[in-house]
Amino acid sequence: MFISRPVITSIGSRVSVQLTTTGLRAMATAVPKFPFSRPRGAEPPAEYARLRATDPVSKVELWDGSQAWLVVKHKDICSVLTDQRLSKQRNRPGFPELDAGGKEAAKRKPTFVDMDPPEHMQQRSMVEPLFTREHIDGMRPHIQQTVNTLIDEMIIGGGKPAVDIVEKLALPTASYIIYGILGVPFKDLEYLTQQAAIRSNGSATAAAASAANQQLLEYIGGLVDQRIAELRNDLISKLVVEQLKPGHLQRDDVIQMAFLMLVAGNATMVNMINLGIVTLFENPSQLADLKKDLSLVPQFVEELCRFHTASAMATRRVAKVDIELGGKTIKAGEGIIAATQSGNRDADVFPDPDTFNMHRKRGAESAFGFGYGEHRCVAEWLARAELEIVFSKCQLMIHQLTKCP
């Protein structure tokens, strides 16, 4: 920001201090660039705390020079995520994309995560029955067996100098369960897991990530064709029978929805397992509590999802009409970024918010670990089940990890 040198003038006994016009203009128009950098990998940007205290609804500049409104307080984020005057459609002018890849992706045919009512619920309801709490509870024995097998393999390989948690536990846990729901043959698990890892790996080249993305789409397309020819008891078959054959969806729609299920939660779940392990090491007293009483695991997972917000940049909207929020006027066509990571550190809702405390008493307000409102994560109960089962094995898992140098 440029602030001009003050001009001091004396008129009789009065002293007048003025800023030049250039300085005032710079002060009025300077807008911070977003996303903000983090002080440490898992910590929220320091700017969030400052904005919560001083300017909770403010403008930021994005990668392409466009501007959007950044919302950082819990109550205002709740308003954004439930306001029907705001749109989730990424092809609307003014929708805030965070990079060039996002802008390109916005041109593709949308799935329900990027739709407004009533289309959003119409398409979401096509997959929702397989992700209800009751259905996922019925899957818990299978998830438990998968996690047990992976941890047993870690223990058997314990003579090695190091254990790659992503390769041996986090990625296969996240991948194998959703692959089973989709109906992916067991023989293809390793191939798909590799492609999903390349697609979501930040260190992969753009060309490699794009190629992996295309290969996954082609693979899903082949799987859809197989289910058209021969039905099975899986999600893709359900979409073929109930949506494709009656003409409610086209083949490309089924591919995109299955692809969404395949990749949407993978990177997030991998990160949450990894962050959970790090968090246990950083909070040994709570690890000790967890080892003594595994009934605390759901509380640990709840706090984990608050403290390390998944999909922190996914909650974006664009105004369909002029609205008022936090004392500011947001005009039609202006983008909004609801910073759920900031909302999860709002001291008005979560006392001592920067401390990880699985014993914290919770009020009526919800953390944004799985989003909020009608676009709340459709696979929330699956994610909770996977995390709870993984961390119910924390004693074996941590014992194995502490053997590594």
The answer to which of 34-38, 210-214, 222-226, 353-357 has the lowest mean pLDDT is 210-214
Q: How many domains, the chain?
A: 1
CATH number assigned to the domain comprising residue 113: 1.10.630.10
What is the model's pLDDT at position 160?
Answer: 65
Rounded to whole angstroms, how far apart are CA atoms 140 and 159?
30
How sure is the predictor about 5, in pLDDT bands with cuts at 50, 70 and 90?
A: very low
Q: Is the pLDDT of residue 121 over 50?
A: yes
Give the model confidence (pLDDT) of 41-57 as tens digits: 789 999 999 999 999 99
- What's the DSSP call for residue 94? T
Question: 153 and 266 in contact (C-beta within 8 Å)?
Answer: no
What is the model's pLDDT at position 25?
Answer: 42
What is the average pLDDT across 268-282?
A: 92
What is the model's pLDDT at position 202?
Answer: 58
Q: Is the pLDDT of residue 338 over 50?
A: yes
Q: Is residue 259 assigned to a domain?
A: yes
Give the model confidence (pLDDT) of 232-256 as tens digits: 999 999 999 999 999 999 999 999 9
Top-confidence range, 10-19, 382-391, 395-404: 382-391
Question: Which of 289, 254, 294, 264 lies closest to 378 in space, CA to CA?
Answer: 264
What is the average pLDDT across 181-192?
A: 88
Q: Is residue 255 assigned to a domain?
A: yes
**281 — phi, psi (to 5°)?**
-65, -35
| More confident site: 194 or 382 | 382
- In 235-308, which ranges are continuous DSSP H helix? 235-239, 251-263, 266-282, 284-292, 297-307
What is the model's pLDDT at position 363?
Answer: 76
Rounded to whole angstroms, how far apart are CA atoms 346 and 361?
15
Q: Is residue 16 assigned to a domain?
A: no
48 residue type, one letter? Y
What is the model's pLDDT at position 6?
Answer: 38
Q: Is residue 181 assigned to a domain?
A: yes
Give the model confidence (pLDDT) of 54-84 as tens digits: 999 999 999 999 999 999 999 999 999 999 9
Q: Is the pLDDT of residue 162 over 80?
A: no
What is the average pLDDT across 203-211?
A: 74
Top-confidence range, 146-150, 268-272, 320-324: 320-324
What is the average pLDDT across 357-373?
A: 90
- Structure-block tokens of residue 65: 């020079």
Rounded to whole angstroms, how far apart are CA atoms 371 and 395?
30
What is the model's pLDDT at position 16?
Answer: 40
What is the model's pLDDT at position 80?
Answer: 98
Q: Is the pLDDT of residue 201 over 80?
A: no
**Residues of the domain holding 273:** 31-402
Q: Is residue 121 assigned to a domain?
A: yes
Q: Is residue 319 assigned to a domain?
A: yes
In this prediction, what percent of the chain has a pLDDT beyond 90? Answer: 65
How sure is the predictor about 27, in pLDDT bands with cuts at 50, 70 and 90?
A: very low
The answer to which of 63-77, 304-318, 346-360, 375-389 has the lowest mean pLDDT is 304-318
Q: What string of DSSP letters covers 328-352?
A: EEE-TT-EEEE-HHHHTT-TTTSSS
Q: Is residue 366 assigned to a domain?
A: yes
Q: Is residue 9 assigned to a domain?
A: no
